[in-house]
Amino acid sequence: MHPTPEEFHSLLRRRRSRRFFTDQPIEPERLERALMAAMRAPSGANTQPWEYVLIERGPVRDKVRVLCEKADVKFHEASPDWLKAFFDDHMITPVKEFADNAPYLVAVFGRRDLPFWLQSVWLSVANFITALEIEGIHSLTYTPSLTRDFNRLLGVDESWSCQAVLPIGHGVENEELKPRPRKGLGEKVHVVSGDGKLRPFDATLPFDP
């Protein structure tokens, strides 16, 4: 059974980044299906330059949290004012509580010597977070600037670059989710006519921001 286009769009709209998780476990089958969706992504020359590492709770995970928080302190300090304002608005601080609570942190690595590795890894992440949503599992696409210490901690070869660390699980019920409206097609999509004129796409369907 395929989802209808309307169902697919409502799924995409429903997915939100969650930053506070319970420790409720994830059903293994649901996680496995979401990982299968991640593997299904297209990639440059079908090289599939991604590697997913599921980090369970425990002492290594505690060290991951320390590395993430250290990286984030630096990142927050160096951020431009508009980004600092976004962080304040979202109550995003370098303290990463989700690194303790969520049943898994999923580190997604990319093999940086392969062509189009970066684009391909992110397409895979997009499949993953969408598939998690359909499985009723929440996620945060979290991108700490981690160094080689992180690879060493997990025993991952240094030719792999960590692109994202996603806490996944069940978001707490009372997390306040501020609206994050999306711009519509008229603003973000353009058409070049045969004579080279650029014009906004003439959208006809209702778009729910």
Judged by the rule CB under 6 A, the positions of this chain that interact with ligand FMN are: 16-17, 19, 92, 140-143, 180
| 35 vs 71, beta carbon nearer ligand FMN | 71
How far is the CA of 84 from the CAs of 30, 87, 123, 137, 191, in angstroms?
Answer: 36, 5, 27, 28, 35
Nearer to ligand FMN, 14 or 199 (CB): 14
Let me know: does 128 contact 137? Beta carbons within 8 Å.
no
Min. distance of Cβ 7 from ligand FMN in angstroms? 18
Runs of H (alpha helix) within 40-174: 59-78, 81-89, 98-101, 117-134, 148-154
Question: Is 53 or 92 the residue whose CB approaches ligand FMN more closely?
Answer: 92
Cβ proximity to ligand FMN: between 31 and 164 the closer is 164
CA distances to 31, 88, 134, 143 from 83, in Å: 32, 9, 30, 14
Q: Between 89 and 157, whose beta carbon lies closer to ligand FMN?
A: 89
- Enclosing H/E stretch for 13: helix 5-14
Contact 109, 156 (CB under 8 A): yes
**Do you know the residue count of the chain?**
209
DSSP assignments along 19-37, one per residue? --B--PPPPHHHHHHHHHH
Contact yes or no for 183/111 (Cβ under 8 A): no
Give the nearest distance from C-beta 143 to ligand FMN in angstroms. Answer: 4
**What minimum distance in Å lies between the beta carbon of 106 and ligand FMN?**
14
Q: What's the min distance (Å) between Cβ of 118 and ligand FMN?
A: 11
Smallest distance from ligand FMN to CB 74, Å:
13
Q: Report the residue number, 48 or 96, with the smaller CB distance to ligand FMN.
A: 96
Nearest residue (beta carbon) to ligand FMN: 17
Task: Compute the least distance from the CB of residue 92 to ligand FMN, in Å.
Answer: 5
- Asked if residues 109 and 51 have their Cβ atoms less than 8 Å apart, the reply is yes
